[in-house]
Every structure is written in structure tokens, then in C-alpha cells.
Amino acid sequence: MFELITLPYAPDALAPVISAETIAFHHGKHLRTYVNNLNAAIAGTQYDGKSLEEIVCTAEGGIFNNAGQILNHNMYFLQFHGPRENNKPIGRIAELINAQYGSFDAFKEEFAAKGAGLFGSGWVWLSYDKNAEKLVITQEGNAGNPVTRGLKPVLTFDVWEHAYYIDYRNARPAYINAIWQIINWDEVNERIR
């Protein structure tokens, strides 16, 4: 049985970037629904007892969608800390970004363009390709996750409207621009290992 993750920060800790009201709906209602739906769908099936990644890489339909949304949202919510001015990458992720994109600003521009340009609902991801030793930015529709392509996801922005509508209405680019203030780069570095 999967459980709703406990957030490592207070519901209002990400404000004004993400409000406590958005956290209440996004984490408390949307993510909880995915957890409940997946638990009901996998009971007594071959997926019972498997990890989220195993399910996402092998399932289809409703089981894939709910498992994917849990995996994606867990990564999303656990990559944050309170807002910080001039919040920039540090350590290994900073080295990789600078080597591949030339600067954090150039990377942000490409990442934001992919997030703003994704048609419909989905996610924009930064993953690490261990084999090529490089970063990869991908757009994933609906519950998609780059783990299904053998990549190691390290950073994600949820670009479903429920992630930002309360705070930004339909201004997805403004949400994407603001969210950099709350990225916990230590967590991103942990994911690269």
C-alpha cells in the first residue's frame, strides 16, 4: 500500500511562490486521490508490492496514470524549500548545467520554454543520462516520466493547471519563472548520485 507523502515543510513555507491553498488542493486532494486510486487498482494484482518506478515502467492505463502521478508528484513536492533570492544550482548539478548549457540563465531559458510550450497537461523534466553523462530536458504529457526511457529524473516542474491556477491563473510562464526561488539544489544533487 502506498501512502501520501508527508511534506518536509509547512503548507505555507513556499509562499508566495506556491500558496498554502495550492498545497492544500494539490498535495492534500489531487495527490491523495492518485494514492487512493492506485491502491484500489493494484490490490491483488501483479503490481501489488512493486515500487512506483517498477509500476510506471511496466503498467498501462489507469494503473500507469495513477502510479506515474504519484511518482511525479513525490519528486515535485520533495524538491522544494522556502523561497530564496538568487537561488542557483550548486555542486554537481551546477557543474553539469554550466558545462552543457553555458550558464544557469541559458539552461533556465530552455527549460522554461519547454515547460511553457508543452501543449495541454504534463511535466517538464531535467534528467541525467548516466550512459552519456549529460543532462536531458524532456516534455512528458499527462503522467509521463523519463524513467520509462532509462533516464534518471532529477528535477521536474508540474505544468498541469492544478499546480498553479490558484496562484497564477493561466499564466504558466510566470509560475515557471517563480518556482526557481524554491528549488532545493541539495536535493537535486542527491538525485544525480
Query: Residue 53, by phi and psi: left (phi above 0), alpha (psi -120 to 50) or beta?
Result: alpha
**Cell representation of residue 156:** 521536474
Q: How far, in Å, CA of 119 to CA of 153, rounded?
A: 21
Give the DSSP H/E element, type plus range, for residue 61. helix 61-77
Q: How far, in Å, CA of 126 to CA of 154, rounded?
A: 6
Q: 67, 56 in Cβ contact below 8 A?
A: yes
Is the bond preceding 83 in cis, omega lying within 30 degrees of 0?
A: no
**Identity of the amino acid at 57:** C
Query: Which domains occur in the chain, in start order?
Result: 20-77 (1.10.287.990), 91-192 (3.55.40.20)
Average pLDDT, the chain: 97
10-61: pLDDT as tens digits: 999 999 999 999 999 999 999 999 999 999 999 999 999 999 999 999 999 9
pLDDT tier at 193, thresholds 50, 70, 90: confident
80-115: pLDDT as tens digits: 999 999 999 999 999 999 999 999 999 999 999 999
